Amino acid sequence: MDHVQLGRAGVRVSRLCLGTMNFGPETTEPDSFAIMDRAIDAGINFFDTANVYGQKFADWGILPKLGLTEQIVGRWLAQGGGRREKVVLATKVFGGMYEGPNGSRLSAHHIRRACEDSLRRLQTDHIDLYQMHHVDRTTSWDEIWEAMERLVRDGKVIYVGSSNFAGWHITQASELAKQRHFLGLVSEQSLYHLAARTLELEVLPACRHYGLGLLPWSPLGGGMLGGILKKTDGGRRAGPVVQARIEKNRSKLEAYEKLCAEIEQEPGEVALAWLLHQPGVTSPIVGPRTMEQFEGNLRACAVKLEEGVLKKLDEIFPGPGGTAPEAYAW
């Protein structure tokens, strides 16, 4: 497993990041422990979670279930054996965690309370990468940075990152951090995969300019790029929602899975390998439900895509045409 710097930060992280969103809702605690142990054995030192993880999307809004995934990760860390020292631990703040008007977003009030509770659930004294899960358009950057700076001074947070930010938000945050003589953002976690390349317009250029590592989430497009046609018998064994997605993208998926068969690689491994070939990408976040899925994720690191294959993938899943404004103007 190769390791690279997280953007302009000095800390080095593995080329794959272990996402833990399925731990609890889809994956039992013993199986989650086994996957985390396997990740360490494979050289993955970068784990990502969030305070709101722990329930299925359909159940969001039921506050008592929130925090379950952090608790599972915390109990794994508490086993000792150097686990905490081996992991660059990332979690997030923004989502609703408490009843009442201040139970979410990025006020200094909420950031402080949410951080303390994440530390308790994770059974650690510091968070290596504390990420804003979404932009808060109602709270000033001065207030947000004041809260984050305090956490850094107190030793509770080392680095700060963002997630789901637009290029403009990255610029706003980074420029004000510079004015405050604060390190500011070191990473952006964003939706990015072969079939979703909008961030190439402005988010990716902003990350490169300000030295942020890019951490793509949903690298397999929610399973669409994992060989879904073969797995669902052309979509006939898929549910109505998945069938609709397949029909919308059928021609592309057929061409994609045919190309993967020609180069004798599994579709999911090709999708991950494509991301690892993109300049500016630090660590795609994989979120396995099972050990079998995780082993497939690991194999992607050994997949080398030739220029001809990369060109064909661009033809099947064309991006926006480059960076803005050249992608849509002159």
Could you list the active site residues? 53
Please give the full DSSP string across 170-203, using - where no structure is assigned. HHHHHHHHHHTT---EEEEEEE-BTTB-GGGTTH
| Burial class of residue 316 in the structure, from the number of CB atoms within 10 Å of its CB (0-12 exposed, 13-18 middle, 19+ buried) | middle
Beta carbons of 22 and 68 less than 8 angstroms apart: no
Distance in angstroms (rounded) separating the CA atoms of residues 303 and 277 = 10
Distance, C-alpha 308 to centroid of its chain: 28
- Which helix (H) or strand (E) segment holds residue 114: the answer is helix 108-122
Beta carbons of 282 and 214 less than 8 angstroms apart: yes
- Helices (H) then strands (E): counts for the chain: 12, 10
Structure tokens at 280: 């500016």
Give residue for tokens 């081996």.
86
Please give the full DSSP string across 29-62, using - where no structure is assigned. HHHHHHHHHHHHHTT--EEE--TT-SS-GGGTT-
What's the alpha-carbon Rg for the chain, to the nearest Å?
A: 20
Beta carbons of 284 and 275 less than 8 angstroms apart: yes
Asked if residue 325 has a cis previous peptide bond (ω within 30° of 0), the answer is: yes
